[in-house]
Protein backbone atom coordinates (compact mmCIF):
# COMPACT_ATOMS: atom_id res chain seq x y z
CA UNK A 1 0.00 0.00 0.00
CA UNK A 2 1.43 3.40 -0.98
CA UNK A 3 2.01 5.72 1.97
CA UNK A 4 3.53 9.20 1.62
CA UNK A 5 5.23 11.52 4.12
CA UNK A 6 4.92 15.19 3.16
CA UNK A 7 7.48 17.44 4.86
CA UNK A 8 8.09 21.17 4.70
CA UNK A 9 8.06 24.41 6.61
CA UNK A 10 5.08 26.46 7.71
CA UNK A 11 2.84 27.54 4.85
CA UNK A 12 4.84 25.49 2.33
CA UNK A 13 1.76 23.85 0.80
CA UNK A 14 1.97 20.50 2.64
CA UNK A 15 -1.72 20.18 3.47
CA UNK A 16 -2.87 21.38 0.06
CA UNK A 17 -0.60 18.82 -1.65
CA UNK A 18 -1.75 15.99 0.63
CA UNK A 19 -5.42 16.80 0.11
CA UNK A 20 -5.01 17.12 -3.68
CA UNK A 21 -3.23 13.75 -3.79
CA UNK A 22 -6.09 12.08 -1.92
CA UNK A 23 -8.70 13.75 -4.15
CA UNK A 24 -6.82 12.49 -7.24
CA UNK A 25 -6.91 8.93 -5.88
CA UNK A 26 -10.70 8.80 -6.41
CA UNK A 27 -11.01 7.00 -3.07
CA UNK A 28 -13.25 8.19 -0.26
CA UNK A 29 -11.25 10.91 1.49
CA UNK A 30 -10.59 10.79 5.23
CA UNK A 31 -8.90 13.61 7.15
CA UNK A 32 -7.44 12.86 10.58
CA UNK A 33 -6.80 16.16 12.32
CA UNK A 34 -4.45 16.30 15.30
CA UNK A 35 -4.84 20.02 16.01
CA UNK A 36 -6.59 21.36 19.07
CA UNK A 37 -8.08 24.85 19.24
CA UNK A 38 -6.12 26.25 22.15
CA UNK A 39 -6.64 29.89 21.17
CA UNK A 40 -8.57 32.08 18.74
CA UNK A 41 -5.84 32.09 16.12
CA UNK A 42 -5.70 28.27 16.10
CA UNK A 43 -9.50 28.07 15.96
CA UNK A 44 -9.39 30.30 12.87
CA UNK A 45 -6.75 28.07 11.23
CA UNK A 46 -8.75 24.93 11.95
CA UNK A 47 -11.93 26.50 10.52
CA UNK A 48 -10.04 27.58 7.38
CA UNK A 49 -8.76 24.02 6.89
CA UNK A 50 -12.27 22.59 7.37
CA UNK A 51 -13.74 25.08 4.90
CA UNK A 52 -11.13 24.21 2.27
CA UNK A 53 -12.22 20.56 2.13
CA UNK A 54 -15.17 19.30 0.12
CA UNK A 55 -18.16 18.18 2.21
CA UNK A 56 -17.48 14.59 1.09
CA UNK A 57 -14.50 14.31 3.42
CA UNK A 58 -14.85 12.29 6.60
CA UNK A 59 -13.06 14.29 9.31
CA UNK A 60 -11.78 12.64 12.48
CA UNK A 61 -10.33 14.85 15.20
CA UNK A 62 -7.83 12.90 17.29
CA UNK A 63 -5.08 14.79 19.10
CA UNK A 64 -3.48 11.83 20.92
CA UNK A 65 -4.55 8.34 19.79
CA UNK A 66 -3.35 8.66 16.21
CA UNK A 67 -2.53 5.00 15.55
CA UNK A 68 -5.96 3.93 16.83
CA UNK A 69 -7.65 6.55 14.65
CA UNK A 70 -5.75 5.29 11.59
CA UNK A 71 -6.74 1.71 12.29
CA UNK A 72 -10.39 2.66 12.81
CA UNK A 73 -10.57 4.79 9.64
CA UNK A 74 -8.82 2.36 7.30
CA UNK A 75 -10.97 0.76 4.61
CA UNK A 76 -9.85 -0.50 1.21
CA UNK A 77 -11.90 2.16 -0.59
CA UNK A 78 -10.50 5.09 1.44
CA UNK A 79 -7.41 7.30 1.40
CA UNK A 80 -6.33 9.06 4.59
CA UNK A 81 -4.60 12.38 5.25
CA UNK A 82 -3.03 12.80 8.70
CA UNK A 83 -2.49 16.48 9.40
CA UNK A 84 -0.20 16.74 11.19
CA UNK A 85 2.51 14.80 13.01
CA UNK A 86 4.00 18.10 14.21
CA UNK A 87 0.98 18.92 16.35
CA UNK A 88 0.54 15.29 17.39
CA UNK A 89 4.04 15.25 18.93
CA UNK A 90 3.29 18.57 20.63
CA UNK A 91 0.05 17.10 22.02
CA UNK A 92 1.95 14.06 23.34
CA UNK A 93 4.46 16.38 25.05
CA UNK A 94 1.67 18.50 26.56
CA UNK A 95 -0.16 15.41 27.84
CA UNK A 96 3.03 13.98 29.38
CA UNK A 97 2.68 10.85 27.24
CA UNK A 98 5.74 8.67 26.57
CA UNK A 99 6.82 9.20 22.97
CA UNK A 100 8.49 5.90 22.10
CA UNK A 101 5.43 3.64 22.49
CA UNK A 102 3.29 6.12 20.52
CA UNK A 103 5.88 6.31 17.73
CA UNK A 104 6.15 2.51 17.57
CA UNK A 105 2.38 2.16 17.49
CA UNK A 106 2.09 4.66 14.63
CA UNK A 107 4.70 2.88 12.50
CA UNK A 108 3.03 -0.48 13.20
CA UNK A 109 -0.38 0.95 12.26
CA UNK A 110 1.01 2.25 8.97
CA UNK A 111 2.42 -1.16 8.10
CA UNK A 112 -0.98 -2.79 8.63
CA UNK A 113 -3.22 -0.24 6.88
CA UNK A 114 -5.54 -1.47 4.16
CA UNK A 115 -5.56 1.90 2.37
CA UNK A 116 -3.09 4.62 1.40
CA UNK A 117 -2.16 7.26 3.95
CA UNK A 118 -0.49 10.63 3.50
CA UNK A 119 1.11 12.02 6.64
CA UNK A 120 1.98 15.72 6.94
CA UNK A 121 4.80 16.95 9.16
CA UNK A 122 6.98 20.01 9.56
CA UNK A 123 10.66 19.79 8.81
CA UNK A 124 12.02 21.47 11.92
CA UNK A 125 15.68 20.48 11.64
CA UNK A 126 16.72 23.05 9.04
CA UNK A 127 16.88 26.09 11.29
CA UNK A 128 18.93 27.17 14.25
CA UNK A 129 19.19 24.99 17.35
CA UNK A 130 16.45 26.11 19.76
CA UNK A 131 17.60 28.14 22.75
CA UNK A 132 15.68 26.24 25.41
CA UNK A 133 15.80 22.62 26.51
CA UNK A 134 12.11 21.84 25.89
CA UNK A 135 12.23 23.20 22.33
CA UNK A 136 15.40 21.15 21.66
CA UNK A 137 13.75 17.97 23.01
CA UNK A 138 10.70 18.65 20.84
CA UNK A 139 12.74 19.26 17.67
CA UNK A 140 14.77 16.11 18.37
CA UNK A 141 11.63 14.03 18.93
CA UNK A 142 9.90 15.30 15.79
CA UNK A 143 13.07 14.76 13.76
CA UNK A 144 13.31 11.19 15.03
CA UNK A 145 9.64 10.53 14.24
CA UNK A 146 9.99 12.02 10.76
CA UNK A 147 12.96 9.70 10.10
CA UNK A 148 11.05 6.65 11.29
CA UNK A 149 7.96 7.46 9.28
CA UNK A 150 10.10 8.26 6.22
CA UNK A 151 11.72 4.83 6.53
CA UNK A 152 8.28 3.18 6.80
CA UNK A 153 6.63 4.83 3.77
CA UNK A 154 7.20 4.34 0.07
CA UNK A 155 7.45 8.01 -0.85
CA UNK A 156 8.66 11.21 0.85
CA UNK A 157 7.90 14.63 -0.62
CA UNK A 158 9.46 17.91 0.53
CA UNK A 159 7.33 20.98 -0.09
CA UNK A 160 9.07 24.28 -0.79
CA UNK A 161 7.11 27.39 -1.82
CA UNK A 162 4.17 25.20 -2.79
CA UNK A 163 6.32 22.98 -5.02
CA UNK A 164 6.73 19.24 -4.34
CA UNK A 165 10.25 17.83 -4.44
CA UNK A 166 10.54 14.05 -4.46
CA UNK A 167 12.92 12.89 -1.71
CA UNK A 168 12.14 9.17 -1.65
CA UNK A 169 12.68 7.05 -3.58
CA UNK A 170 16.13 8.58 -3.51
CA UNK A 171 18.88 8.48 -6.03
CA UNK A 172 21.21 5.53 -5.55
CA UNK A 173 24.41 6.18 -3.61
CA UNK A 174 27.61 5.87 -5.61
CA UNK A 175 29.24 7.15 -8.76
Choice among 16, 23, 49, 71 that is catalytic: 49
On whether the CB atoms of residues 170 and 19 are closer than 8 A, the answer is no
On whether the CB atoms of residues 155 and 169 are closer than 8 A, the answer is yes
Name residues whose C-beta falls within 8 Å of residue 84's C-beta, 6 or more positions apart in sequence. 14, 15, 34, 35, 119, 120, 121, 122
* 49 is known as an active-site residue: yes
Give the DSSP H or E segment for 55: none
Whether the upstream peptide bond of residue 15 has omega within 30° of 0, thus cis, is no
Q: What is the DSSP secondary structure assignment for residue 75, as one 8-state letter?
A: -
Query: Nearest 5 degrees, angle CA 76-CA 80-CA 138?
Result: 140
Which residues form the catalytic set? 49
Amino acid sequence: MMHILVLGGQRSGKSRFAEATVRASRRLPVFIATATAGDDEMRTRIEAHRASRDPGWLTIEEPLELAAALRAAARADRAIVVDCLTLWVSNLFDAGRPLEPAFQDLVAALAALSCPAILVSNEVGSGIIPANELARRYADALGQLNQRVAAAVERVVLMTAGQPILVKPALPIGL
